[in-house]
Amino acid sequence: MLEQNGVDILFAELIQQDKLRLRYEGGAAFAYYNRERGRFLRKMIEQGKFGAHPYSDVFYRLGRLAAQEYIDADIFDDVDYLVPVPLHPRRMHERGFNQAEEICKGMSDVLHIPVDTEHLVRVRNNPHQSRSEFQRRKDNVKDLFEIRYPEEWKNKHIVLVDDVITSGATMMACMRKMTPIRGCRIGVFALGWAHK
């Protein structure tokens, strides 16, 4: 577990900068994801996603491990759904799985919180972002997502889950779409935080 919750600070600042009117419940990441710290996690995630033979099991297992570490954390109190950041159907077909969904499945088995893959959908296929600059990332994710049946998330507590948080742009794009939903409370969680 990270000794300092910089992810929570990052999103609190981004929400304030964007002047989003939403109920932010907090954020966290399991480990660092960079060359100085978290090299092992980084290698596992990159091999799982981009290796010669991508495989989903590593994400499920890491999701379980992260949930065991955070089982008593406030971020998962009263959560109604774990929601993976969705892939575009084309990328899902190419890879064969959504790593964020596999993480959610592993977390769900430990935390007993259901996974919701129906409401948040990706409607546009954007290029990979791992090396994009912040403003380009923000532009890259504009109007990338949609919420189906938003009334079903009214007064629900949702935790968005992804494999890695870099600038926060992808999660923020999801949150912008969730903001109009009355009473919806939002948290964020990722396996890795690519903070220098």
Taking only the tens of pLDDT, the chain with its 196 residues reads: 455 578 999 999 999 999 999 999 999 999 888 766 667 777 878 777 766 666 778 999 999 999 999 998 888 999 999 999 999 888 877 878 899 999 999 999 999 999 999 999 998 866 555 555 555 555 556 789 999 999 999 999 999 999 999 999 999 999 999 999 999 999 999 999 987 6
Q: Which amino acid is at 12?
A: A
**DSSP, res 157:** E
Q: Using H for helix, E for strand and C for coil, what is the string for 12-78? A: HHHHHHHCCCCEEEEEEEEEECCCCCCHHHHHHHHHHHHCCCCCCHHHHHHHHHHHHHHCCCHHHCC
- Ordered structural domains, the chain, with CATH: 6-193 (3.40.50.2020)
What local confidence, expressed as pLDDT, does residue 51 receive?
67
* Residue burial 61-77, b: 16+ Cβ < 10 Å; e: rest: ebbbbbbeebeeeebbe
What local confidence, expressed as pLDDT, does residue 74 receive?
86
What local confidence, expressed as pLDDT, does residue 146 receive?
95
What local confidence, expressed as pLDDT, does residue 170 receive?
93
What local confidence, expressed as pLDDT, does residue 56 receive?
78
Asked whether the beta carbons of 27 and 188 are under 8 A apart, the reply is: yes
What local confidence, expressed as pLDDT, does residue 44 receive?
79
What local confidence, expressed as pLDDT, does residue 88 receive?
84
